[in-house]
Amino acid sequence: MAEPEPRSEPPDRNLDLDLDQAAHLPARRDPKPNPDDLDASRMSDVNEWGRSENMRALVRRLYEPIYKHWFRVEWEGLEKIPPGGALLVANHAGAVPSDAPAIMHGIETELGRPIYGLADNFFRKLPVVGTYWNRLGGLPAHPDNAYRLLREQDQLVLVFPEGTKGPAKTWDERYKLRRFGRGGFVEIAMRAGVPVVPIALVGAEESMPILVRLPSLAKAFGLPYMPVTANMLVAGPLGAVAYFPAKFKIKVLDPVYFDVEPDLERYSRSKIMDESEAIRDKIQSALYEMLRNRRSVWFG
């Protein structure tokens, strides 16, 4: 039986916390198990989620120039990410999404905390890609995984509630958020007793815009979608990995705390859908706000 451990309450559950309050969240009383604590007999540092900090560090070194000089990522409100477990929720875009690596890299270098990205289990089926994806902090988006990470280990978890519908958008639909699934991310955050931190990201759409989708080809190859991107027109097959140097701006919005008890068997469906819709609205209006202030796709 999972006896819920005594937890410190966030000071104010009804209000979206502002910066000062978030900075004064009380420290947790009991140290949570650290997934990186491994047995002495082990020969690698692949932790209980398949993530390897060594490999992550290597990739961070390789990705740093791209992050700094290609996308020139700029964060706003990073300090709003609370200590302890939190579910980070962002918009998703670009045929081969460039937003997940940017967000994960930013959090790990700026906050010094590991972050796990939940994604479609499609990745897991790919040889080589699936293995590296997992070693770099990718996990199948299963509610049990999210619960264990958030509730039992106080980790940061990133999800894209739009799922594959986000990056599958064509050029003319950019920055228009898709349906946020069935609100599963809200339910998991409620059950785990952690806040949802909405994140709005501008730039990923332009880094690899989709001109047209080829559904029959996607079906033939068993892919979620098969895009023809502008990058491919410019760089040929290399376009599948070559991003345009769009300027990335990432804005962390105020964490959303839910006024419910964790670990319940069920949560009200209408409350889940309302919260999910509210979070979607917040990200959507933040995106519009950021786009209104954006002078250039390439220079921000």
Q: Which class for 66: exposed (0-12), middle (13-18), buried (19 or more C-beta within 10 A)?
A: middle
By CB under 8 A, tell whether 30 contacts other proteins.
no
Q: Which of 20, 30, 144, 172 binds other proteins (CB under 8 A)?
A: 144
Q: Which of 7, 28, 32, 148 binds other proteins (CB under 8 A)?
A: 148
6-24 burial: b if 16+ Cβ within 10 Å, else e: eeeebeeeeeebeeeebee
The 56-95 contact track toward other proteins, x by CB under 8 A, reads: ----------------------------------------
By CB under 8 A, tell whether 55 contacts other proteins.
no
Contact 286, 251 (CB under 8 A): yes
By CB under 8 A, tell whether 121 contacts other proteins.
yes
Nearest approach, Cβ of residue 122 and other proteins (Å): 8
Spatial separation of the C-alpha atoms in residues 261 and 258, rounded to whole Å: 8
Q: Of the ranges 40-48, 53-61, 77-85, 198-206, which one interacts with other proteins (CB under 8 A)?
A: 40-48
**How many residues bind other proteins, per CB under 8 A?**
36
Q: Which of 32, 124, 213, 271 binds other proteins (CB under 8 A)?
A: 124
Q: Toward other proteins, which CB reaches closer, 59 or 139? A: 139
Nearest approach, Cβ of residue 143 and other proteins (Å): 8
Block residue for tokens 């990201």: 201
Spatial separation of the C-alpha atoms in residues 223 and 288, rounded to whole Å: 31
Q: Toward other proteins, which CB reaches closer, 149 or 226? A: 149
Q: Toward other proteins, which CB reaches closer, 83 or 130? A: 130
Q: What residues are paired with 138 via a beta bridge?
A: 117
Q: Toward other proteins, which CB reaches closer, 188 or 283? A: 188
By CB under 8 A, tell whether 50 contacts other proteins.
yes
Spatial separation of the C-alpha atoms in residues 118 and 189, rounded to whole Å: 14
The 152-171 contact track toward other proteins, x by CB under 8 A, reads: --------------------
Q: Toward other proteins, which CB reaches closer, 123 or 175? A: 123
Terminal Cα-to-Cα distance of the chain (whole angstroms): 51
Q: Of the ranges 14-22, 91-99, 226-234, 259-267, which one interacts with other proteins (CB under 8 A)?
A: 259-267
Nearest approach, Cβ of residue 135 and other proteins (Å): 8
Q: Toward other proteins, which CB reaches closer, 1 or 27? A: 1
List of residues contacting other proteins (CB under 8 A)? 1-4, 38-39, 41-44, 46, 48-50, 121-122, 124-131, 139-140, 142-145, 148, 191, 261, 263-265
